């Protein structure tokens, strides 16, 4: 989301409390369950390090609830999406 949107501001706020970027917070949120994974884009070595650092973040239950409420799931899709 845009950094100035309500969604972007939420990720930035949570990121500030963890000394992390909004992108790191989003990645930590997406990878919080052992049964889920994300494949983030990494075009530079610094970007790879930023993405890896997201794995060290521990979001609180309250932060997860806030992100869940701000980014609600859409309706279920059938099958596996094609890229």
pLDDT digits (tens, 9 = 90+) for 2-45: 889 999 999 999 999 999 999 999 999 999 888 888 888 888 99
pLDDT value of residue 82: 64
Euclidean distance between CA atoms 66 and 68, whole angstroms: 5
pLDDT value of residue 53: 94
pLDDT value of residue 3: 87
pLDDT confidence of 83, banded at 50, 70, 90? low
Q: Which pTM was predicted? A: 0.82
pLDDT value of residue 81: 66
Measure the N-to-C terminal CA separation of the chain; round to a whole number of Å: 21
């Amino acid at each position: 989301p845009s950094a100035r949107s309500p969604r972007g501001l939420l990720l930035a706020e949570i990121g500030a409390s963890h000394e992390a970027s909004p992108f790191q917070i989003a990645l930590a949120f997406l990878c919080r369950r052992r049964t889920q994974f994300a494949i983030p884009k990494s075009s530079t070595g610094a970007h790879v390090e930023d993405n890896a650092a997201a794995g060290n973040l521990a979001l609180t239950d309250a932060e997860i609830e806030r992100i869940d409420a701000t980014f609600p799931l859409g309706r279920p899709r059938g099958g596996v999406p094609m890229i």
